[in-house]
Amino acid sequence: MIEQRIQQLRQQLQKANYAYYVLDNPIMEDAVYDQLYRELDTLEKENTHLITSDSPTQRVGDKPASQFVSLAHNIPLYSLENAFNLENLQAWQKRWQRYSEKENIESAEYVCELKIDGSALALTYENGLLIRGVTRGDGTTGEDITQNVRTIRSIPLKLNLENPPPIIEVRGEAFLPLDEFDRINQQREENGEALFANPRNAAAGTLRQLDPKIVDQRRLQFFAYTLHLETTDINSQWESLNYLQNSGFLVNTHRKLCPSLEEVADYFQQWETERKDLPYMTDGVVVKINDYSLQKVLGFTQKFPRWAIALKYPAEEAPTIVKDIIVNVGRTGAVTPMAVMEPVHLAGTTVQKATLHNSDRIKQLDIRVGDTVIIRKAGEIIPEVVRVLDDLRPPNTQLYQMPSHCPECDSTLKRPPNEAVTRCMNLSCGAILRGSLVHWASRDALDIRGLGEKIVILLINNGLVNSLADLYDLTPEKIANLERMGSKSANNLIEAIEGSKKQPFSRVLYGLGIRYVGSVTAGLLAENFPSMEQLSQASFSDLSSVYGVGEEIAQSIIDWFSIEKNCDLIQQLEKVGLQLEATKSKTPTVDSPLTPFAGKTFVITGTLPSLKRNEAKALIMEAGGKVTSSVSKRTDYLLLGENPGSKLTQAEKLGITQLSEAEFLTLVKK
């Protein structure tokens, strides 16, 4: 009976994963999935002899790899010849026609697929089970990263085929969705870590993490696009893509079968604009001859297949001049160099600053004040310096050296072992205190309205605040005479500070700014350790065993509580009345009138008339719904404010219900 129950649970969870990650059509509520997963996990731990590699519980390995092993590809991963305009595309067609000695053929059927900006992988399945995942490497040899590949939910551990062939090789692209890229970079910024320059670099760096738990937390996705079978009735690329989708893979829905090169050109031009509304990065279109028999005739050059080409979109770049190189000190002490440039218009915005990440990047670029540089928005998101134009360098420029002392407190800067970031280690540094206070008052933390950076600086400079706890000793009389502050503003600020005492434990935990503990992680910790006392006494094993926490975060929490000043701060916050314990509340059932949005997914776009975005998000979550950052078929409602972005266009295409703030509030109150 136990073995039968385990099989049933695996099948249910595999179906749910396929529906969610491949079909984009969930068949199971998250809470139900979590309950079934926990039941399966418990049964397998009690009956370890029944655990198999294709079980949903076995996606994430427990032990980090010590290194990656190089493996030779059974079939080489060729790169693609690039075309940069439609003339290049026409020339490619003429070349393959001449080579095939069929110049009388005006065209052939082509398959067009969006070129995903990620990292190529080669997957091997034996009898339907995933046994190996290897990076592209140099095309002949790659690295075995099977542990990491298994964490990607859109890669099936077991093929959705009744009688799978003995061996199948699948090629595709691992990538990071834009909302996930934003989330990771936001968390890295909060933790004082260098930001990823673009989603492609973030995906590549993630795949090479030795700890699969970190890979799992970053939620990579995978589009399959190539199939290799020894014996098959599949005769075309189009048939291969359909076979891959039916096997359980995520295949890009925007693929198109084009009967002529003219339609290929139309497809390319269509997506040059529309790609900006996609939830992932794409930098071009891959064009393949559909017919496998013609592919076989054409074969390969030493570098490329003759039957395929990548038609690339031009990257928007612009030259500008570096006026200065400065450093910013963040709340974790991270010292980040920044290029200050002559303003330049790029991808719809005016850019004046670009992060230089760290001293290694500065050394690599050899960037100097006065240099003319080429900048672009990496992934059309973050301004980055691509290269320096050495020929335009003015005479007598000086090599830039990172400062040896903190520009805020004059403490000696240090670069910890195995880190690329230089840090100020002085916990009393004004910049660290300033950043900590601003973070404490931020919307997702204690949400103290009126306590922005300028007021924080005034409070510090006037000696009124030297720690987070000092905020709660302020009175209207103490601050009313400060610059920018009258009696009314003073009263409002003190009321906001007093109101922050009602914020839940998870927000207090996030507000403390413990390294690697973002708002989501703070929520997980509050669920598993419902008081500050329990959290402070939790062991490394207790912490790292929480799904979504992992070893790096666990060690960071232990390190934070090992500092005496931090423990003193907790005692002070407890005395002034902060919530250091999670409140127990009865969770409404799905049928409860308190959950009108049970199981519903929202996306918010634009500026709402009266609600702040985090207030609207809180109302949705309290009513049983959830909020995501990108529109998809799974989205039920678009909450629409003024000046909406591209999410509105995407929602209209998918026919998603739009709600004004008034309509939304009416539904909430029902």
Percent of the chain exceeding pLDDT 70 equals: 91
Per the annotation, does 32 bind a ligand?
A: yes
Q: Give the pLDDT score at 668.
A: 78
Domain spans of the chain, in order of start: 1-50, 81-312, 317-396, 430-501, 505-576, 601-669
226 and 171 in contact (C-beta within 8 Å)? yes
Q: Which position has the higher pLDDT, 184 or 127?
A: 127
User: Encoding tokens for residue 573?
Assistant: 């916050």
Active centre residues (catalytic): 115
Up-side HSE of residue 45: CA atoms within 13 Å toward CB? 7
Q: Give the pLDDT score at 589.
A: 44
Up-side HSE of residue 319: CA atoms within 13 Å toward CB? 8
Q: Give the separation between CA 284 and CA 625, rounded to whole angstroms.
A: 36
Q: Give the pLDDT score at 198.
A: 77
For the chain, first and last CA: distance in Å?
Answer: 45
Pick the CATH number of 1-50 from 1.10.3720.10, 1.10.150.120, 1.10.287.610, 1.25.40.80: 1.10.287.610
pTM of the prediction? 0.55
Up-side HSE of residue 185: CA atoms within 13 Å toward CB? 21
Q: At what angle do helices 199-207 and 178-190 cross, to 10 degrees?
A: 80
Contacts of 446 by beta carbon, 8 Å cutoff, 6+ apart: 440, 500, 503, 507, 508, 511
Per the annotation, does 312 bind a ligand?
A: yes
Q: Give the separation between CA 173 and CA 280, rounded to whole angstroms.
A: 12
- Which of the listed ranges 121-130, 543-552, 624-633 does the model predict with the highest average pLDDT? 121-130
Q: Give the pLDDT score at 565.
A: 87
In this prediction, residue 237 has a pLDDT band, given cuts at 50, 70 and 90, of very high
Q: In Å, how far from its chain's centre is CA 199? A: 8
Q: How far, CA to CA in Å, does 175 sit from each of 244, 565, 596, 613?
A: 18, 42, 35, 28
The fourth-level CATH superfamily of domain 505-576 is: 5' to 3' exonuclease, C-terminal subdomain (1.10.150.20)
Contacts of 208 by beta carbon, 8 Å cutoff, 6+ apart: 68, 135, 143, 145
Per the annotation, does 633 bind a ligand?
A: no
Per the annotation, does 567 bind a ligand?
A: no
Per the annotation, does 288 bind a ligand?
A: yes
- How confident is the model over 590-617, as pLDDT tens digits? 445 556 787 788 888 887 887 877 678 7
Q: Which amino acid is at 244?
A: L
User: Encoding tokens for residue 217?
Assistant: 């937390």
Q: How far, CA to CA in Å, does 286 sit from each of 73, 158, 257, 411?
A: 22, 28, 12, 53
Q: Give the separation between CA 263 and CA 62, rounded to whole angstroms.
A: 49
What would the 3-class secondary structure string for 62-89 be? CCCCCCCEEEECCCCCCCCCEECCHHHH
646 and 276 in contact (C-beta within 8 Å)? yes
* DSSP E strands, 302-370: 308-312, 317-329, 334-346, 349-355
Least confident of 358-372, 500-514, 631-645: 631-645
Q: Which amino acid is at 64?
A: P
Q: Which amino acid is at 145?
A: I
- The arithmetic mean of pLDDT across residues 121-129, rounded, is 94
Q: Give the pLDDT score at 106.
A: 59
Check residue 582 and report its DSSP letter: P
Q: Give the separation between CA 264 and CA 260, rounded to whole angstroms.
A: 7
- The arithmetic mean of pLDDT across residues 352-375, rounded, is 90
Q: Give the separation between CA 665 and CA 211, rounded to whole angstroms.
A: 44
Burial of 104 (0-12, 13-18, 19+ CB in 10 A): exposed
Find the DSSP H helices in 74-177. 86-99, 146-149
Q: Give the pLDDT score at 585.
A: 46
Q: What pairs with residue 124 in β-bridges?
A: 132, 169
Q: Give the separation between CA 192 and CA 281, rounded to whole angstroms.
A: 25
- The arithmetic mean of pLDDT across residues 438-455, rounded, is 90
Find the DSSP H helices in 191-236. 199-207, 212-217
What average pLDDT does the structure give for the chain? Answer: 85
Q: Which amino acid is at 452?
A: G
Q: Give the separation between CA 614 and CA 452, rounded to whole angstroms.
A: 17
- How confident is the model over 97-118, as pLDDT tens digits? 888 775 456 568 999 999 998 8
Per the annotation, does 627 bind a ligand?
A: no
In this prediction, residue 155 has a pLDDT band, given cuts at 50, 70 and 90, of very high
Q: Give the separation between CA 535 and CA 561, rounded to whole angstroms.
A: 9
Q: Give the pLDDT score at 379.
A: 47
Over 70: is that where the pLDDT of 642 sits? yes
- The arithmetic mean of pLDDT across residues 559-573, rounded, is 91
Q: Give the separation between CA 214 and CA 187, rounded to whole angstroms.
A: 13
Q: Give the separation between CA 509 and CA 468, rounded to whole angstroms.
A: 13
Per the annotation, does 327 bind a ligand?
A: no
- How confident is the model over 172-224, as pLDDT tens digits? 999 999 888 888 887 777 676 767 777 888 888 889 888 888 888 888 999 99
Over 80: is that where the pLDDT of 20 sits? no
249 and 224 in contact (C-beta within 8 Å)? yes
In this prediction, residue 588 has a pLDDT band, given cuts at 50, 70 and 90, of very low
Reply yes or no on domain 81-312 having CATH 3.40.50.10170: no
354 and 325 in contact (C-beta within 8 Å)? no
Q: Give the pLDDT score at 36.
A: 80
Q: Give the pLDDT score at 605.
A: 85
Q: Give the pLDDT score at 254.
A: 94
Q: Is the dihedral of CA 514, 518, 521, 526 positive or negative?
A: positive
Please state the length of the chain: 670
The fourth-level CATH superfamily of domain 317-396 is: Nucleic acid-binding proteins (2.40.50.140)
Q: How far, CA to CA in Å, does 128 sit from each of 153, 170, 418, 646?
A: 16, 12, 40, 40
Per the annotation, does 478 bind a ligand?
A: no
Over 90: is that where the pLDDT of 247 sits? yes
- The arithmetic mean of pLDDT across residues 405-434, rounded, is 86
- The arithmetic mean of pLDDT across residues 15-39, rounded, is 72
Over 50: is that where the pLDDT of 134 sits? yes
Does 81-312 match 505-576 in CATH topology?
Answer: no
Q: Is the dihedral of CA 635, 267, 310, 172 positive or negative?
A: positive
The CATH code of domain 430-501 reads: 1.10.150.20
Q: Give the separation between CA 528 and CA 525, rounded to whole angstroms.
A: 5
Per the annotation, does 484 bind a ligand?
A: no
- How confident is the model over 36-92, as pLDDT tens digits? 887 888 888 888 888 888 888 887 765 656 568 888 888 888 888 888 889 999 999
Per the annotation, does 258 bind a ligand?
A: no
> Which of 307, 305, 306, 308 has its CA nearest to residue 76?
305
- Number of helices (H), then strands (E), in the chain: 24, 22
291 and 236 in contact (C-beta within 8 Å)? yes
Burial of 149 (0-12, 13-18, 19+ CB in 10 A): buried
Q: Give the pLDDT score at 141.
A: 86
CATH architecture, domain defined by 601-669? 3-Layer(aba) Sandwich (3.40)
Over 60: is that where the pLDDT of 623 sits? yes
Contacts of 183 by beta carbon, 8 Å cutoff, 6+ apart: 629
- How confident is the model over 323-340, as pLDDT tens digits? 999 998 988 888 989 999
In this prediction, residue 21 has a pLDDT band, given cuts at 50, 70 and 90, of low
Least confident of 480-489, 621-630, 644-653: 621-630
> Which of 410, 403, 449 has its CA nearest to residue 430?
410
In this prediction, residue 587 has a pLDDT band, given cuts at 50, 70 and 90, of very low
Least confident of 237-246, 499-508, 592-601: 592-601
State how beta strands 626-627 and 601-605 pair.
parallel
Over 90: is that where the pLDDT of 515 sits? no
Q: Give the pLDDT score at 188.
A: 77
